[in-house]
Amino acid sequence: MTFVQIWLNFYLHPRKAMDALAQNKTPLYGALYAFIRGILLGLFLYLPFYLLKFEPISPAYLKILDTPDYFLYAIFIWPIFGLLSWVYLEGVGYVVLRLLRYPANFDQMLNLGGLLNLAIGIVILIFDWLMVALNYHTNVIFLGIAHLLIADPWSITLTAIFYKKYFGVPVWLSVLLGILVRILYMPLAMVFIRT
């Protein structure tokens, strides 16, 4: 399957898409998926928010991001942040699995992580615009919980299926690892991502 076929098949046939993705020998697809997610967020969320003069509703934890032009800067920050957090979080998972003596393949983990970022990220993007249309986009707690409920069960479930099939990792361990990765992601998100 091609890059785009894997991405589109992910929605209707996730196992088939993950099997095709597992055959890639380099993390190129994962990097492209993660980067494209950042570009799409910049163009279809942050740029319109900037042009519509939306104000961030979450606080700035870094002085440099405490600006009314945050959404303009986010257009450029997100692709870089997305790539760096993708490598960091998949790296944590890889190190944990290798320390526990599972035959994890970092390239496969990066590819899967990138695909999940993009595929689920597009669903979150559509959800965010639905919340703007319904005027629910100003409640940061609601949006945070909704994002967790949409993304995390989906991502953790598919990761557990992949890790069991390709690395022999028990489902319970994949779930714990997924929770650990989310816990590690939250401080990064709070610092760099404002909504």
159 within some domain: yes
DSSP letters for 50-91: HHTT----SPPSSGGG-STTHHHHHHHHHHHHHHHHHHHHHH
DSSP letters for 91-125: HHHHHHHHHTT----HHHHHHHHHHHHHHHHHHHH
Segment 35-94, tens digit of pLDDT: 999 999 999 999 999 999 998 888 888 888 888 899 999 999 999 999 999 999 999 999
pLDDT in the model for residue 64: 81
163 within some domain: yes
**What is the total count of domains within the chain?**
1
Angle in degrees, CA 29, 46, 51, rounded to 5: 145
73 within some domain: yes
109 within some domain: yes
CA pair distance 20, 3, nearest whole angstrom: 10
Q: How many angstroms from the chain centroid is the CA of residue 37?
A: 8
Q: Is 168 helix (H, G, I), strand (E, B) or coil?
A: coil
Expressed as residue numbers, the domain containing 118 is 27-192
pTM to 2 decimal places: 0.93
13 within some domain: no
22 within some domain: no
